């Protein structure tokens, strides 16, 4: 047993040793104000390009092919969704989600020094940020990308190049919802266009500009202002590529949308997930689970008071990793504990 205990000592994890192995080499940086601050992330540029491409193809290629009685309705609905999405997108990118005390200082030109773990264990301790040098609220987190404390921190969105917190969360949610609705609507228009091409191509050629074209393999793009002639393979290729792009975008945005709906409406039964999502409302099911956990803890403490030897045996078993006499090899507890900081090694 002594040899086993000595063998386990070398597996202890010391915080000082971990920090020495991976020192912080990040240079000091200025905090970012919002999504327009430098540096611009490439995913943000990609999001704007996708929005412009999908809007350009919808208004310039596919909506003009609809029947006349549907065409103006499609223009109105698609235009309304695009304008609403553009508005909330600009708002969520432009809002500064920082803590109130950080915004009151208005000192974004100051370079924030690199966090020194030899002085403090955490960036925020007792609701005080050692980097921003201000007191913060309980749900605040210091974002490493924006280099500032964010109120009600949810996550840092690379597509918006901005943090999502309590100040702009619902604008973020509305942005995702409006983008999903716009994709659903344009996918329906595109599917109708492709299906009608194989069933009745003449129903897509109702625009007056097609009267001067006798070749059925010639199609006009960007009607009615700038008609551009193209062949059938090019027309179908554009339709298929845009459809694939919209389906992939809808899959990603739909997954994100339903995930946030689930987190905001469904009661959580996992305290760990609730702690990772500070903006999530914890429902009654999670409350009942916590009551059961508290009751089991009370019962365990009462049992230890009645039978103190059982608690001592369990403590001895945990410290020796289950290798004392009578412990089974399959049920060994492979863990070591440092009482000073409660670090466990699995």
Residues involved in catalysis: 157
- Burial of 182 per CB tally in 10 Å (0-12, 13-18, 19+): buried
Nearest-5° angle of CA 24, CA 30, CA 35?
110
- In which residue are the tokens 């897509």 written? 204
Chain mean position to CA 310: 46
- Residue 165 in contact with residue 154, Cβ under 8 Å? yes
- What are φ and ψ of residue 108, in 5° steps? -75, -10
SS3 at position 173: helix
Rounded CA separation 123/42 (Å) = 28
For the chain, the farthest-separated pair of C-alpha atoms sits apart, in whole angstroms, at: 98
Rounded CA separation 52/58 (Å) = 10
Rounded CA separation 102/108 (Å) = 9
For residue 85, CA distances in Å to 23, 93, 95, 270 come to 43, 12, 16, 34
Rounded CA separation 228/220 (Å) = 5
């Amino acid at each position: 047993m002594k040899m086993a205990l000595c063998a386990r000592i070398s597996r202890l994890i010391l915080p000082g040793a971990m920090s020495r192995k991976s020192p912080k080499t990040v240079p000091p940086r200025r905090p970012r104000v919002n999504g327009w601050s430098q540096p611009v992330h490439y995913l943000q540029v990609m999001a704007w390009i996708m929005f412009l491409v999908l809007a350009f193809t919808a208004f310039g290629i596919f909506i003009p092919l609809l029947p006349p009685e549907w065409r103006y309705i499609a223009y109105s609905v698609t235009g309304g969704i695009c304008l609403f999405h553009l508005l909330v997108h600009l708002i969520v990118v432009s809002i500064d989600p920082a803590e109130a005390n950080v915004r009151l200082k208005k000192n974004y030109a100051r370079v924030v020094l690199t966090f020194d773990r030899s002085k403090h264990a955490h960036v925020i301790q007792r609701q005080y940020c050692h980097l921003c040098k201000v007191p913060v609220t309980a749900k605040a987190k210091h974002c490493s990308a924006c280099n500032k404390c964010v109120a009600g921190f949810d996550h840092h969105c690379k597509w918006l190049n901005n943090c999502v917190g309590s100040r702009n969360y619902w604008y973020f949610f509305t942005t995702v919802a409006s983008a999903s609705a716009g994709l659903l609507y344009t996918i329906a228009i595109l599917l109708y266009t492709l299906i009608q091409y194989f069933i009745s191509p003449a129903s897509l050629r109702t625009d007056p500009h097609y009267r001067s074209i006798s070749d059925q393999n010639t199609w006009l793009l960007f009607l009615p202002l700038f008609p551009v002639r193209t062949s059938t393979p090019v027309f179908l290729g554009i339709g298929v590529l845009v459809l694939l792009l919209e389906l992939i975008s809808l899959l990603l945005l739909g997954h994100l949308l339903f995930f946030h709906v689930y987190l905001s409406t469904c009661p959580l039964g996992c305290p760990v997930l609730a702690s990772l999502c500070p903006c999530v409302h914890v429902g009654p099911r999670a409350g009942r689970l916590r009551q059961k956990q508290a009751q089991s803890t009370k019962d365990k403490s009462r049992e230890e008071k009645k039978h103190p030897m059982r608690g001592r045996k369990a403590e001895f078993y945990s410290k020796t990793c289950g290798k004392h006499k009578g412990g089974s090899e399959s049920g060994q507890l492979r863990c070591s504990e440092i009482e000073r900081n409660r670090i466990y090694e699995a």
